[in-house]
Structure 1
Amino acid sequence: MSRRYKIQAKKHRVYDVHAVMELYDVCRNTVSNWVGAGLMPSKGQGPHLFRGLELNRFHAARRAQGRHNLRLDQFYCLCCKVAVSPHPLSINLWQTERESRMAGGACSECGATVMKLLDATGYERLKNALRPNANLSEIDERKEEDSVDIGTEAPLRVPEWPSMNDRIIHDWQLYAGRYDVKTMDAHLTSIRDFEDFLEGRCFSQVRDKDVGKYRTSLLAKGEMPQEDGGLSASTIRHRASHLAAFVKWLTKQEGYRRLSVTLPDYFDLPRQKMAKVLARPDKLYPSVEEARAMVQSMPNLTRAQRRDRALVACAFLTGLRAAALSSMRLKHIDCEAETAVQDAREMRAKNGKSFTVRWF
C-alpha cells in the first residue's frame, strides 16, 4: 500500500507512540526510524511524546525532499514516496554488465526493495562504511542549506522554543476525553495560545501577574479589527473560560500544586470592557421567502441534486448542525407532524444531545 503520509495531525495535540501508530497506520519500529531520521520528541523523561505540529513538519520536510538531493545513506522508496534510510545489514552493492554501480536494500518502513544508481566515489564510500557497520548518516559530508521559502504557500513554522508542557497537556487530554473532539480542540487552541504568550515557559512557573498580562492582551485584541489579528467577544470569553478550567485542573496535579489557587479567578473578564467589545453589527441572514426561492431554484434532475436540495431545506426548517444533517435518516423526519428528531444514538450530534424540532 502506498504511504504518502499526507495525513495531517492536529497541531495543538500531543500524541504518544501508540496514537502515532494508529494515526499513520505504521508499526512501532517505523516511529523509531522517524525519530532517527529527524522527528523530534517532546522534552522530558519517559515514553516518547510528539506534538502534532512537529509531526506535520517532519512529514512535510520528507515530502519536499522528493527524489532529488538525497544523502548517500538515503534511498527513495516508491511505496512510501519518501526518502528512507534502510538498515545497513539489508544494503547490497553490485556492478552491472555495463559497469554501472548500484545499491539496493529494504525500506525500513514498509519493507519494499529500494535501489539507486551511484557514482564511483559514492560507491566506494558506501562500501567502506558498510564493512565496520558504521552509522550511514555520518558518511555524508554535505552541508544542509536552509529553504528560501519561495512559493505561494507559507512554510510550516514551529515555535522557536521547545515546549516544556507537552507531557502535562497529554495528561490533560486524557482527562478531557469526556469532551467532544471539537470542544477538546478549542480548549487546546486556548492552552497553546497561553503557552505562546508565555514564550514556552513551563506552566509550573506561572504567576498571578502572568495571567493578568494575558487577560489584558486578550481585551486589547477585542478592540482590534479582525483583519489585524483581533478577536471577537465570543472568542475572548471562550478562551478565558477554557484557561480558567485548565488552570483549575492544573493546580491539582503532581508538581503543580504550588501554583496559587486563585489563578483561575484572574481569567475573569471585566464587565465594562466586555460590554464595549460586544458591540458588533447584526449579521445578515436570508428571509423565509429568499430561502424558499433558493431551494426552488436548485436543480433536481439527479438523485444527488435532490439530496442537496433536501439538505438545504432541512437546514432552514430545523436549524441543525451540518454534521447532524449529513447523518440524518428519513425516519427522523415526520412531515405530517412537522417535526424532526435529532437522535444522538444514530446521528453525529454535538455532546450527544437528543431533542425534537418543530418547524414553522
Structure 2
Amino acid sequence: MSTAPSKQPRRNLQDPRKAKANYLYTSENVISLYGICANTLTNWVQRGLVPYQSGRKRLFKGEHLNAFHQNRRQKAKHEVELDEVYCVICKDTHSLLVSEVQATLFKGKMSVSTPCPKKASPAYKCMSIGDYEALQALRKPIPERSQKTNNDSGSLPGFGIEQVFSDGSCQPPSAEQMHLAVSLPPKAIEMGNTAKAQVIAKPSAAETENAFAIYEYQMLVKEARGRHDKTVDAILRHIWQFVDLSGKGDFREVDKETIALFKSAFQEKGTDGKARAAQTVVHAFAHLKGFFEWLTEQPGYSCVPSHLHDYFTPPRRLVNIANAPTTKNYPSHEEIVAAVESMAGNSFLERRNRALLAFAYLSGVRVGALITLQIKHVDLKLKAVDQLAAEVATKNSKTIRSDWFPVGEMFEAIVSDWITDLKAQGATGETPLFPRGARYTFGARNGSGWEPLKDEGTVAKIFARIAIDNGIDHFTPHRVRDTIGSMIFRWASNLEEAKALSQGFGHDNLKTTLDHYGAISEARQHELFSGIRDRSELQFGVNTRSLTPTARVQLQQTVEDFIEKMMSMLKTE
C-alpha cells in the first residue's frame, strides 16, 4: 500500500522590517511584537537567531531579528525554470509548455497562469515581456490557439507559438525570436530579493555586557525621560555606530584616544561615503556624551573615568555651523494661490490633491496631522480644526484646536466642496479627510474601506509634483507653515491678534513662532525699515530729508532702539 507524500508544513514568514533595527528587545518584547509563543522563539534561536544572553535573560537586537526573517524568506524561495511555474497551493512545480496558459499584461509585466493539475486552481507567475516572448517560442504550436482574439481586459487565452500583440492579433514569431528562444539557457526565476543571507556571529561576553548596558539606557531615555521613539532610535543608532567604528568590544576599555579616533572617523565619512553634516555630528556626539556620563555611574563601570564623557564634546566650529541660521525656501502667498488656482479638479485624485494643499495652507497643521485627520475633526461652521491627540498625530501628542487662517475664501470653498464630495460618496465622520485613491478607483463606492494616505512621504511627493507643475522651487509640506508664519504680522494689527495667530500654530508662546517660522528676508527688512522711517516723519512731524546727517543717524538709532525694545518684550511675553 503506497503512502501519500507528506505535506510540506506552511511556513509562517514574518515581516523582515517589523523590528526597529537599533532597538534591543527582551524575549517578552519579541513574543508580543510578532504574536508568537515562547516555543516558537526557542525554535528561532535553534535555527539561527542570535541573542545576547546573560544567565536566563536574553536580548535580541532589532537588526538581527530582521536579518533572521530575511534569511528565512530567502530560504523559502523556489527556483523555477523559464518554462515552469510554482503552485503555492499544492507546493509543486508545473510545466508551462503542456497545459493551457493565460497571460495578462499589467504595468509592463506579464502575469502568466496555468491550471494546477492537482488542485484545479490557477498557478501564477510574473515575468518580463522578453521572457514571455521566449516562452512563446518554446511552446509547441497549437493551431486552434492561433485564432484572432479581442479581449478588452487584456487577458489572453491559451497561446502557442504565435506572437500576441496589444490589438489581439497573432502572428508567428520571427526567425530572430526563434533563434533567441532556442539559444536562451535555462533561467532561474526567483520570487523576491536575491540578496545573500546575512550571517550573524555569536556575540562575545563583552559584547553581551555592552548590549545589556545599552538596553538599560534605552529603557531610561524611553520610559524614565519620556523621549519620542524617533529620538530614542537616533540615540541608539549613534551608540551602535560608536561600537562598530571604535572596535572596542568592552565599554570599560574605552579611553580618550579611542574617542578621538572615533570622532575623526565619524566626521570623515557617512553611510553614503561623504562627510557627515555638522548637525549630524553634533547630535551624535551629544548623544554619546550623555550615554557615557550615565555609564560611569553604573555598577561595574567604576573603572571608567568620570570625566571621560567630556571628550565627546564636538568642535566649536561644527557647533557654530550646526547652529547657524539657514535660509528656508518656502512658497510665497501669491505662489500658493496661483498653484491652487491652476490645479485641475476633474478626477477624484486631482480634487483630493488640490484640497490637500488648500487645507494645509488654510489650517497650518503639520503633515502628521494632515494624514490622520478625519472628517469629524473639521468644523465647517466655526471654520476650525480639532486636532485631538487621541486620534490625530500631533507633535508631542498635544491636543490643538485652531481656527482657519485668513488665507482667502477660495481655500475655504475648496475644502468645503471636498468634504461635501466625500460625503456624497458615502463617507462618514470617521472617514480620513484625505483618503488613498486606490480604494475609490478600484473599490466599491460606499462608505466603508476608506484608507488614509500611506505616510508623510506620500504628501511630500504630491507637493513636489505641484511645485514642478507650477514652476515653483521645491518645497515640503512643512514649509507651508513658514509661509503662514511670514504672513502673521501682515494679518495682525496688534499684539493680541499676533498671539491668537501663533496659538493657531499650536504654540503657547509667540516667541516660538517668531523664532522658527517666517524669518524676515533682508529685502523685506529693508522695506519695513523704510516704512517705519516714513511713518515716524508723519507721527513726529520730522522731515528726515531736511535733517543733518548726524541728526538723521540719531533719529534712525532711536527708531531701531524702539523696535529692539518691542522685540524683547515679545520674547519675554
Band the TM-score falls in, shorter-chain normalisation: 0.5 to 0.7
Contact 1:244 1:264 in 2 (8 A): yes
Could you tell me how far apart the structure 2 residues matched to 1:290 and 1:156 are?
A: 50
- Corresponding residue of 2:291: 246
Judge which range, 25-34 or 175-184, deviates more. Answer: 175-184
Structure with the larger RCO, 1 or 2 (CA within 8 Å, 6+ apart): 1
* Secondary structure at 2:52 match in 1: coil
Contact 1:244 1:265 in 2 (8 A): yes
- In structure 2, runs of 5+ residues without a counterpart are 1-9, 80-87, 92-191, 406-483, 488-573
What does residue range 109-120 of structure 1 map to in structure 2 within 5 Å?
A: none
Could you tell me how far apart the structure 2 residues matched to 1:68 and 1:202 are?
A: 42
Contact 2:74 2:197 in 1 (8 A): no
- Corresponding residue of 1:321: 366
Q: 2:332 aligns with which of 284, 287, 290?
A: 287
- Corresponding residue of 2:234: 186
Contact 2:340 2:357 in 1 (8 A): yes
- Corresponding residue of 1:196: 244
What does residue range 153-302 of structure 1 map to in structure 2 within 5 Å?
A: 155=196, 157=198, 162=203, 163-164=207-208, 165-177=210-222, 178-221=226-269, 228-275=273-320, 282=327, 284-301=329-346
Contact 2:388 2:400 in 1 (8 A): yes
Query: Does residue 48 of structure 1 match 2:58?
Result: yes
Could you tell me how far apart the structure 1 residues matched to 2:78 and 2:194 are?
A: 21
Deviation at 1:353, TM superposition (A): 3.9
- Greater gyration radius: 2
Deviation at 1:299, TM superposition (A): 4.4
Which deviations, in whole Å up to 9, do the C-alpha atoms of 1:265-324 show, x marking residues without a partner? 222122234446778984644333333333334444566654443333343455543222
Could you tell me how far apart the structure 1 residues matched to 2:264 and 2:50 are?
A: 34
Contact 1:16 1:48 in 2 (8 A): yes
- Corresponding residue of 2:76: 66
- In structure 1, runs of 5+ residues without a counterpart are 70-77, 82-150
Deviation at 1:346, TM superposition (A): 3.8
* Secondary structure at 1:347 match in 2: coil
Contact 2:387 2:399 in 1 (8 A): yes
What does residue range 91-110 of structure 1 map to in structure 2 within 5 Å?
A: none
Could you tell me how far apart the structure 2 residues matched to 1:257 and 1:356 are?
A: 51
Contact 1:41 1:48 in 2 (8 A): yes
| Cα gap change, 1:257 to 1:348, in 2 (>3 Å) | farther
- Corresponding residue of 1:4: 13
Could you tell me how far apart the structure 1 residues matched to 2:62 and 2:361 are?
A: 37
| Cα gap change, 1:219 to 1:227, in 2 (>3 Å) | closer
Judge which range, 305-314 or 192-201, deviates more. Answer: 305-314
Q: 1:27 aligns with which of 9, 33, 37?
A: 37
* Secondary structure at 1:50 match in 2: strand
Deviation at 1:36, TM superposition (A): 1.0
Judge which range, 41-50 or 178-187, deviates more. Answer: 41-50
| Cα gap change, 1:281 to 1:171, in 2 (>3 Å) | closer
Contact 1:7 1:24 in 2 (8 A): no
Judge which range, 260-269 or 182-191, deviates more. Answer: 260-269
2:211 alignment partner AA = D
Could you tell me how far apart the structure 2 residues matched to 1:339 and 1:241 are?
A: 40
**Count of residue correspondences:** 279
Could you tell me how far apart the structure 1 residues matched to 2:281 and 2:251 are?
A: 21
Contact 1:179 1:351 in 2 (8 A): no
Could you tell me how far apart the structure 1 residues matched to 2:212 and 2:400 are?
A: 39
Length-normalised TM-score, structure 1: 0.64
Could you tell me how far apart the structure 1 residues matched to 2:200 and 2:230 are?
A: 23
